């Protein structure tokens, strides 16, 4: 993964493209931000922007369970599963 911190505007510009990749990953089942980041090969801070945008627009939902490391699991929203 890159260690260079990118400008927020660059990260946000990729949101629609990355949303599709994230939704595809979540079809396998709920995942944490670090799990999604590892699967995409992207930094967790960037993945957090994209997942929060997907959550805001109703594509993903935050679960109530927490991983052993303290991260919430995110899954496809009920409308996206069909």
pLDDT in tens, 17-70: 899 999 999 999 999 999 999 999 999 999 999 999 999 999 999 999 999 999
Please check the confidence at residue 81 and state whether its pLDDT lies above 80.
Answer: no
Fold of 8-80: Arc Repressor Mutant, subunit A (1.10.10)
Count Cβ atoms within 10 A of the Cβ of residue 71 and give its class: 0-12 exposed, 13-18 middle, 19 or more buried.
Answer: middle
Cα 17 from Cα 39, distance rounded (Å): 15
Instruction: Output the pTM of the full model.
Output: 0.84
Domain residue ranges in the chain? 8-80
């Amino acid at each position: 993964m890159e260690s260079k911190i990118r400008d927020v505007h660059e990260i946000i510009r990729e949101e629609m493209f990355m949303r599709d990749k994230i939704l595809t990953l979540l079809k396998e089942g709920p995942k944490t931000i670090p799990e999604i980041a590892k699967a995409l090969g992207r930094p967790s801070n960037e993945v957090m922007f994209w997942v929060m945008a997907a959550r805001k627009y109703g594509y993903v939902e935050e679960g109530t369970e927490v991983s052993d490391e303290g991260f919430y699991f995110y899954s496809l929203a009920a409308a996206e599963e069909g």
